[in-house]
Amino acid sequence: MLQADGVVNALTIDFEDWYQGLEIPLDRWSGFEDRLERGARRTLEVFAGAGVRATFFVLGAAAERHPQLVREIVAAGHEVGTHGWSHTLIYNQEPGVFRAELERSIKLLQDLTGAPILGHRAPFFSITKRSLWALDFLRELGIRYDSSIYPVYNYRYGIEDAPRWPHTLAGEGPPLQEFPITTWKVMGRNLPIAGGAYFRIYPYALTRMGFRAVNAAGHPATFYLHPWELDPEHPRIPLPRRIATTHYANLKATEPRLRRLLRDFRFAPMKEVLGIA
């Protein structure tokens, strides 16, 4: 066995329905089949079966439609964080609109959970060099940690030279920690290994090697999935090729791989990994 056995990683779910993260505006969402309950139940069952707890970054619009699911998440012992309200790329939003949506989401989630909301994950990991201003609003609204910065280059997200491990962000006001999305440095490049489409498209062994390397160096990794990735039968709709490729690829692999990952590594909610009370 590797020495990495002691490191506890952060298990996270970006909690939204299958059509909410496809760059389709919120005013068109009512035209799609609501499947959130299926994916959510499956996720909760797999986690309960493995005896693990996670952080669910809940989209405000999804919580408004399914308040009972948020209550079930809390009742199962998981942490609830915010994923904003409308799943818009932050760097395309007016700062005032971003702030208002974030505040609305936090308020709804606090009402549903009866607890302060401490964590934030941006839609599409869209805190980039163009939207660092968003971090000030997080502090102002009581967020204690963010997990949105992906130290890679991607057409939609990423700060390639950002720190790769959890750290406290510089800035005025209350302390704010960043838990970057995990990468594995291979031949000088940061390879994204933290979940989602990468988890489905790469062989499982690659994710496991990456996690082992990160943990062997003494660092916690973070892993993320969406409930719809555990609902492989959700509707097929025509999408731009680069979105369709990542969204629909190898969905049937998600659940068996997730079960293996939960056996191979230790996980906890993100606020516990960061030591936030």
Q: Which residues bind Zn ion (CB under 5 A)?
A: 14, 16, 21, 123
Smaller CB separation from Zn ion, 21 or 119: 21
Q: Considering the complex, what minimum distance in angstroms separates the CB of residue 6 from Zn ion?
A: 31
Nearer to Zn ion, 128 or 215 (CB): 128
Q: Are the C-beta atoms of residues 108 and 64 closer than 8 Å to each other?
A: yes
Minimum distance, C-beta of residue 128 to Zn ion, in the bound complex (Å): 15
Integer Cα distance of 14 and 128 in angstroms:
18
Sign of CA dihedral 40, 43, 48, 52: negative
Please tell me the distance from the alpha carbon of residue 51 to that of residue 248, in angstroms, as a whole number.
28
Q: Tell me if 99 sits within 8 A of 139, measured CB to CB.
A: no
Question: What are the φ and ψ backbone dihedral angles of 153, each rounded to 5 degrees?
Answer: -100, 125
Q: Which candidate, 44, 43, 35, places its Cα nearest to that of 62? A: 35
In this structure, are residues 271 and 79 in contact, taking their beta carbons and an 8 Å threshold? yes
Considering beta carbons, is residue 23 or 33 the nearer one to Zn ion? 23
Cβ 206 to Zn ion shortest distance, Å = 23
Nearer to Zn ion, 123 or 227 (CB): 123
Least distance between Zn ion and beta carbon 83 (Å): 6
**Rounded Cα gap, residues 53 and 58, in angstroms:** 15
Give the residue with the Cβ less far from Zn ion, 16 or 79: 16
In angstroms, the CA 221 to CA 184 distance is 10
Give the shortest CB-60-to-Zn ion separation in angstroms: 12
> Which CB atom, from 211 or from 224, has the smaller least distance to Zn ion?
224
| Cβ–Cβ under 8 Å, residues 104 and 26 | no
Please list, in sequence order, all residues whose beta carbon lies within 8 angstroms of the beta carbon of residue 136, skipping any fewer than 6 positions away: 171, 172, 173
Type of residue found at 174: P
Structure-token pair, residue 106? 């936090």
Comparison of 14 and 229: residue with beta carbon closer to Zn ion: 14
Radius of gyration of the chain (CA): 17
